Chains A and B, each alone.
Chain A
Amino acid sequence: MDFLWTIVVLVVVLAISWRYLGSYMAAVFDGRVQFLAWAERPFYRLLRTGPDQEQTWKRYATSLIVFSALFAALGYLLLRIQGSLPLNPQHLGAVPPGLSFNTAISFLTNTNWQNYGGEETMSYFSQIGVLTVQQFVSAAVGIAVAIALVRGFSRRGSDTIGNFWVDITRCMLYILLPIAFVAGIIVVSQGAVMTLAGTVTVHDSLNGVTQTIPRGPAGFMGPIMQLGTNGGGFFDVDLAHPFENPTGLTNLLYIVLTLSIPFSLTYTFGKMVKSVRAGAALLAAMVIIFGVWVGFTSYSEHQPNPAVAAAGVTAQPTGNMEGKEVRFGDTTSALFDVAMTQTSDGAVDGANDSYNAIGGFGLLSGMMLGEVTPGGVGSGLYTILLFAIVAVFIGGLMIGRTPEYLGKKIQAREVKLAGFGILVMPIVVLVLTGIAVSIHAGRAGPLNGGPHGFTEILYAFTSQTNNNGSAFAGLTGNHAFYNVVGSIAMLLGRFAIIVPSLALAGALAAKNIVSSSAGTFRTDNTMFVGLVVGVIIIVGGLTFFPAVALGPIATALSHKFYSVMPLLSHAGMAFSHLWAVLR
């Protein structure tokens, strides 16, 4: 019942945010909201730019890369000299080079893969000045790219796609900062810690032990890490920690924050291209996949854990609670983790490694679909648009017209860029996993052997390339190999998709808009939603099926850890029955 209410509240709140946050964001990026213009101006003066200075896609991309490189370098530097910086009550020393590099890249790329435990490694200065700042910055960059691509659709015969500096400034001032601030107050009011004082030592006279309890400015980090789909928490155990995620309410708030911008951006898209229905179609595609994944993952986690059952526990009335927090429960944890794996957020409020097979598959496959349902802030929209372009292309051909999306003809260049953007992720994941399992340094990573260990490696690269950052656990990541190769995965997964997306924006903006007629391929109806869902599932399925068959499916089928995988075997039996009947 609680789970049902959670879903109801979630749907209502997200529906409201879709409509109003979505249209507000459109107004912000169209420059129609001006109440903070006084705060924008100093930035523009400093950068010698302004809303009237439009950029071509190449300048936009260059600005973005220069900006990102500067922040990565700054982040690395600050982590390296952490020991000499203030706000370090625990006197933590410099972060080692490999880890600093990995962490700087990880937060820059909105991944928030953490090869460290926050409370033991990062000073308060690093947490606030490096990690939290990057969480704002990377979110703003993602949203800016999405908006630039949307402008590609809404403009006609234009050389330019907006101004990068203006877009991130506005995103920061009008969207991220205000929402994160309000959410931060709610989270702190629920009991999250927010202090600059160091650890406290408590003596538990009852048990006769002395504990050192880490604290810090966690309460305000949670909201932006969720709002910006970053997912890298203050503490090692992330949002499973009661100091950062104290109650069921904050848990729900974190889900809402994570999903609100990615979903709402589809409204922004619809508003900006003057077809809210087109935006709603993308929303529908996202919701369908998201809903199905929440459904079967929650169902799976509501089932008993076979390993626990094998250990002799006969009754597990609350489902698979192994690795889950009692204050969240089985199904809500599953909801939380599906939301985090399908948004590129990657936060966890439990241990993904302890999921039942189907549940674990739900989390892994959610990422393998390319983080588009709804995906990360901005990245979800621009990536699903790449899928939509491929869907439009195939569908458009099937009705006998040069395919067009929102009046823009989809031709060789668009197909090339969209195809490239889509294939980067699976290729990087598979090739890097292939390298990892082939060399000693890579093989040393997983704690388990066989298919489960393989799944751990596969999960790590899937998570990093998708800029998700969720960890399956069980993999020791803080080695030179995983620090460096992981960084490569994160960089490619971020920028090798951003650059083609911006190039696509440029190509589309330059085009004229073809008028629509009864013979035009509709991109705002059920059929199109079906096609987009189909393309996402088929691309994900075809590229990852062999790897998944060897990892989670083999694990699931092996009886070693889990019981048989009900879905596939049911399908198999249904088919063989059908075959018998046909014969």
Chain B
Amino acid sequence: MTDVSVSPVAPAGPEPTRGPSQAPAPRGVAGERSLLDPGILRYAVVEAFKKLDPRTQVKNPVMFVVLVGTVVTFIESIAHSTLFSWSITIWLFLTVVFANFAEAMAEGRGKAQADTLRRMRSETEARRLDANGVETRVPASQLVKGDLVVCEAGDVIPSDGEIVEGVASVDESAITGESAPVIRESGGDRSAVTGGTKVLSDRIVVRITAEPGKTFLDRMIQLVEGAERQKTPNEIALTILLAVLTIVFLPVVVVLQPFGHYLGATVSVVILVSLLVCLIPTTIGALLSAIGIAGMDRLVQRNVLAMSGRAVEAAGDVQTLLLDKTGTITLGNRMADAFFPVGNHTEREVADAAQLASLADETPEGRSIVVLAKERFGIRERELTGPHEFVPFSATTRMSGLDLDGRQIRKGAAEAVRRWVTERGGTVPDWLDDIVDSISRQGATPLVVADGADILGVIELKDVVKQGIRERFAEMRTAGIRTVMITGDNPLTAAAIAQEAGVDDFLAEATPEAKLELIKAEQEGGRLVAMTGDGTNDAPALAQADVGVAMNTGTTAAKEAGNMVDLDSNPTKLITIVEIGKQLLITRGSLTTFSIANDVAKYFAIIPALFVATFPQLKTITIMKLHGPSDAVLAAVIFNALVIVALIPLALRGVKWRPSGAAAILRRNVWIYGVGGIIVPFIGIKLIDLFLTAVHWY
């Protein structure tokens, strides 16, 4: 429906899918789940312990160090059993468990979604056609690429494919969550069908395009489960930074043993391990993978499937958005904007006739004519009392209207009405053509209104820019993202709409080649480009774009070329995708900053405790006035563990991103997570210390 090759003045046909003007509710394939969903919690608790397997732990260098540290203090506790050493051991162990729990929470949400999907992938039987057209029933799992299958009303489509014959309405709610059926037909851009969806009417022959186990549904399950999760480039870079920080703190702590020895101080191994665990970035190390999984999950909740995490990250980097005009910037439908009378008729007469002709027209265009007539001239919708008959729109007449008391009122394409009038012996005024041409030239659609053989005038149907889209683009601009409108319209019309919508640039009379060229030019200039597309001719551009979002209604070629699929087929989603990409990176960056900033307070809690016995003068820097040396260390370790749990909701929901300039975002996050990260542990450790004192732990 956003195919740019379609003539801009083509009459709007019935919409096969839900109009994008309806704001999509944030409802994923498995629906929204609360953070405290009991099922997920139960799963996460069990997984948190299962993940203690060293083979799993070693993948996360930071937490692996904590696990090794736990083992060391455990052995130390057995050798020299004290309440302190056991307390530390237990809290170090809990630190690892909490980290696992965070990851399992994020995974659990995906798992729940995957289960829902799996349930509908129940073994379906396929009706395979052989070369002679003979039908055999085989399990869907035996279908291979190229097989032909028949599906009739009531059948579940066994696998992904392309319709080679027939047309059918298909219920795709299983995948999109959208209950309204969609039309799928052979040839063109609506020929793709997805395995697991259900044929509601008619009969189609489908050529299978996916190998078993690699269907869209399979991929979707793997994606939401995180089974194929690979670390994204920024995640890898961050993991390296965390490894560097872990490596550098290792000697910092280890050399305290010889330093202390040289200075005649005995340094407890348990305290050294505690110090190490407190210093290495455990907070971000524990939450890093949860943040990544949750980011993908947020996309799934908005019905977007990213084929790779890399694409999600790239979305955060996008500097240019290519937006299709229809459906994204303007409403899919044109709206009546003006009445132009011809001959001796008045504008009011045109409006009156146009309204009559549209009374039965339930298309958005028809409704808009009725509304406009009411707004302009106060012509109310009337109850028709006399004998009347509605004439519906048909592809052959290309007109619709009303027969009332002998009047035959019609509205339709200029050519059709002209023929109708001429056939009835009427004359066509010369300047009708002028009006029709001038309307067409501006990219609007002219509908001619006639009463019998008499032409009354012309209705102008115009593109209507979506409400609030201008503000959205202004936000994008402050965030440094350029918006480019893609349209098949002529440059004049395009400029007018671009102006109205507030986009930064536009590409008029766009062909797939021109689109591809534009993307390449943007990338040449060092900008990342995101676009949406659905047609087969969009495929090259989708593949070239850094973020290519294919509409689920689109062709298989488009879906394969892009790196994301929007199940709602709502091109406005592109903006949401950019936001989620940014949020993902911001969450990682902010928690890293927080994690590192935390170290300052922990130093002040632990270092004096380490050596205060040898150098009583170090008491001066025990600025936190904690209960006692070991108490201080325990409080720091407990804080270190609890902060992971406290931050799980933030990791899963993500740090808020508001569209604003980089400087403003940075200032905000540095204050909250940097400065806050320094202050919070001072308070937290002190509170834990007060609590431990209150319960007479020592």
**A positions within 8 Å CB-CB of B:** 390, 393-402, 407, 410-412, 414-416, 419-420, 422-423, 426-427, 430-431, 433-435, 437-438, 443, 450-451, 454, 512-515, 517-522, 525, 527, 530-531, 534, 538, 541-543, 545-547, 549-550, 553-554, 557-559, 564-565, 568-569, 571-572, 575-576, 579
Report the 9 A-B pairs with minimum CB-CB distance, sorted nearest first. Answer: A519-B480, A397-B589, A400-B582, A517-B480, A419-B244, A557-B617, A572-B623, A434-B255, A518-B480
* Cα-based distance from A550 to B253 in the complex (angstroms): 13
* Cα-based distance from A546 to B313 in the complex (angstroms): 38
CB of A518 within 8 A of CB of B263, answer no
Contacts of B583 in A (CB 8 A): 400
* Cα-based distance from A575 to B600 in the complex (angstroms): 14
CB of A397 within 8 A of CB of B592, answer yes
- With A395-B666, A543-B249, A546-B259 known, 14 other A-B pairs at CB within 8 A are A393-B238, A398-B590, A419-B240, A419-B244, A422-B244, A437-B258, A437-B262, A451-B615, A522-B662, A546-B275, A550-B611, A554-B617, A565-B620, A576-B623
Contacts of A557 in B (CB 8 A): 615, 617-618, 620-621
Contacts of A438 in B (CB 8 A): 258, 261-262
* Cα-based distance from A570 to B666 in the complex (angstroms): 31
Q: Which of B240-256 contact A (CB under 8 A)?
A: 240-241, 244, 247-249, 251-256
Among B275, B317, B665, the one with the most A-chain Cβ atoms within 10 Å of its Cβ is B317
**Given A434-B258, A451-B615, A400 contacting B665 (CB threshold 8 A):** yes
B422 interfacial by beta-carbon distance below 8 Å: no
**B positions within 8 Å CB-CB of A:** 233-234, 236-238, 240-241, 244, 247-249, 251-263, 275, 279, 313, 316-317, 319, 477-482, 525-528, 581-586, 588-590, 592-593, 596-597, 599-600, 603, 607-608, 610-611, 615, 617-618, 620-625, 657, 661-663, 665-667, 669-670, 673-674, 682, 686
Contacts of A415 in B (CB 8 A): 237-238, 240-241, 244
CB of A437 within 8 A of CB of B611, answer no
Could you tell me the dominant secondary structure of chain B's interface residues?
helix
* Cα-based distance from A407 to B480 in the complex (angstroms): 14
When the two chains form the complex, which single residue of B477, B599, B611, B663 contacts A522, counting CB atoms closer than 8 Å? Answer: B663
CB of B263 within 8 A of CB of A401, answer no
The residue of chain B having its C-beta at the shortest distance from the C-beta of A535 within the complex is B596
* Cα-based distance from A390 to B670 in the complex (angstroms): 15
Contacts of B257 in A (CB 8 A): 434
CB of A572 within 8 A of CB of B234, answer no
**Given A431-B251, A450-B263, A454-B262, A402 contacting B526 (CB threshold 8 A):** no
The residue of chain A having its C-beta at the shortest distance from the C-beta of B275 within the complex is A546
Contacts of A579 in B (CB 8 A): 624-625, 686
When the two chains form the complex, which single residue of B248, B263, B481, B610 contacts A426, counting CB atoms closer than 8 Å? Answer: B248
The residue of chain A having its C-beta at the shortest distance from the C-beta of B669 within the complex is A398
CB of B663 within 8 A of CB of A527, answer yes
CB of B617 within 8 A of CB of A402, answer no
Contacts of B525 in A (CB 8 A): 515
* Cα-based distance from A331 to B248 in the complex (angstroms): 36
* Cα-based distance from A46 to B415 in the complex (angstroms): 86
* Cα-based distance from A395 to B622 in the complex (angstroms): 31
* Cα-based distance from A565 to B582 in the complex (angstroms): 46
Contacts of B256 in A (CB 8 A): 546, 550
* Contacts between the two chains (Cβ within 8 Å), count: 235
CB of B234 within 8 A of CB of A416, answer no
When the two chains form the complex, which single residue of A416, A426, A564 contacts B620, counting CB atoms closer than 8 Å? Answer: A564
* Cα-based distance from A564 to B618 in the complex (angstroms): 11
* Cα-based distance from A360 to B134 in the complex (angstroms): 94
Q: 13 A–B contact pairs at CB < 8 A?
A: A397-B585, A397-B590, A402-B317, A426-B251, A434-B254, A450-B263, A454-B259, A514-B526, A515-B525, A518-B479, A538-B599, A542-B603, A549-B611
CB of A420 within 8 A of CB of B261, answer no
Give the Cβ gap from A532 to chain B, nearest Cβ, in Å: 13
**Given A438-B258, A454-B263, A527-B670, A402 contacting B611 (CB threshold 8 A):** no
Give the Cβ gap from B479 to chain A, nearest Cβ, in Å: 5
Give the Cβ gap from B455 to chain A, nearest Cβ, in Å: 52
* Cα-based distance from A435 to B259 in the complex (angstroms): 9
Contacts of A414 in B (CB 8 A): 237
CB of A575 within 8 A of CB of B262, answer no
CB of B592 within 8 A of CB of A518, answer no
Give the Cβ gap from B44 to chain A, nearest Cβ, in Å: 26
**Given A400-B581, A426-B248, A512 contacting B662 (CB threshold 8 A):** no
* Cα-based distance from A400 to B665 in the complex (angstroms): 9
Contacts of B252 in A (CB 8 A): 426, 430, 542-543, 546-547
Give the Cβ gap from A171 to chain B, nearest Cβ, in Å: 32
CB of B259 within 8 A of CB of A558, answer no
* Cα-based distance from A265 to B478 in the complex (angstroms): 34
* Cα-based distance from A128 to B617 in the complex (angstroms): 49
**Given A394-B592, A427-B248, A575-B624, A412 contacting B237 (CB threshold 8 A):** yes
Give the Cβ gap from A563 to chain B, nearest Cβ, in Å: 11
The residue of chain B having its C-beta at the shortest distance from the C-beta of A521 within the complex is B662
* Cα-based distance from A233 to B248 in the complex (angstroms): 34
* Cα-based distance from A416 to B247 in the complex (angstroms): 12
* Cα-based distance from A390 to B592 in the complex (angstroms): 12
CB of B623 within 8 A of CB of A512, answer no
* Cα-based distance from A399 to B234 in the complex (angstroms): 13
Among A399, A549, A553, A559, the one with the most B-chain Cβ atoms within 10 Å of its Cβ is A399
When the two chains form the complex, which single residue of B251, B607, B608, B666 contacts A399, counting CB atoms closer than 8 Å? Answer: B666
When the two chains form the complex, which single residue of A397, A515, A558 contacts B617, counting CB atoms closer than 8 Å? Answer: A558
Give the Cβ gap from B519 to chain A, nearest Cβ, in Å: 14
Give the Cβ gap from A508 to chain B, nearest Cβ, in Å: 14
CB of B623 within 8 A of CB of A550, answer no
CB of A575 within 8 A of CB of B316, answer no
**Given A400-B585, A400-B586, A557-B617, A550 contacting B263 (CB threshold 8 A):** yes
When the two chains form the complex, which single residue of A399, A433, A550, A565 contacts B665, counting CB atoms closer than 8 Å? Answer: A399
* Cα-based distance from A434 to B256 in the complex (angstroms): 8
Give the Cβ gap from B49 to chain A, nearest Cβ, in Å: 31
CB of B313 within 8 A of CB of A515, answer no
CB of A519 within 8 A of CB of B237, answer no
Among A398, A437, A443, A514, the one with the most B-chain Cβ atoms within 10 Å of its Cβ is A398
Give the Cβ gap from A509 to chain B, nearest Cβ, in Å: 15
CB of A527 within 8 A of CB of B615, answer no
Give the Cβ gap from B252 to chain A, nearest Cβ, in Å: 5
* Cα-based distance from A395 to B238 in the complex (angstroms): 12
Give the Cβ gap from B665 to chain A, nearest Cβ, in Å: 5
Contacts of B248 in A (CB 8 A): 423, 426-427, 543
* Cα-based distance from A395 to B263 in the complex (angstroms): 40
* Cα-based distance from A358 to B41 in the complex (angstroms): 53
CB of B241 within 8 A of CB of A390, answer yes
**Given A401-B585, A438-B258, A554-B615, A451 contacting B263 (CB threshold 8 A):** yes
Contacts of A427 in B (CB 8 A): 247-248, 251
CB of B666 within 8 A of CB of A576, answer no
Contacts of A393 in B (CB 8 A): 237-238, 241
**Given A398-B590, A402-B316, A438-B262, A416 contacting B240 (CB threshold 8 A):** yes
Contacts of A565 in B (CB 8 A): 620
Contacts of B238 in A (CB 8 A): 393, 397, 415
**Given A513-B526, A579-B625, A396 contacting B480 (CB threshold 8 A):** no
Contacts of B234 in A (CB 8 A): 397, 402, 411
Among A414, A517, A575, the one with the most B-chain Cβ atoms within 10 Å of its Cβ is A517
**Given A415-B241, A426-B252, A572 contacting B319 (CB threshold 8 A):** no
Give the Cβ gap from A441 to chain B, nearest Cβ, in Å: 13
* Cα-based distance from A549 to B605 in the complex (angstroms): 13
* Cα-based distance from A420 to B607 in the complex (angstroms): 26
* Cα-based distance from A390 to B248 in the complex (angstroms): 15
Contacts of B663 in A (CB 8 A): 522, 525, 527
**Given A438-B258, A554-B618, A572-B620, A407 contacting B662 (CB threshold 8 A):** no
Give the Cβ gap from A156 to chain B, nearest Cβ, in Å: 9
* Cα-based distance from A437 to B261 in the complex (angstroms): 8
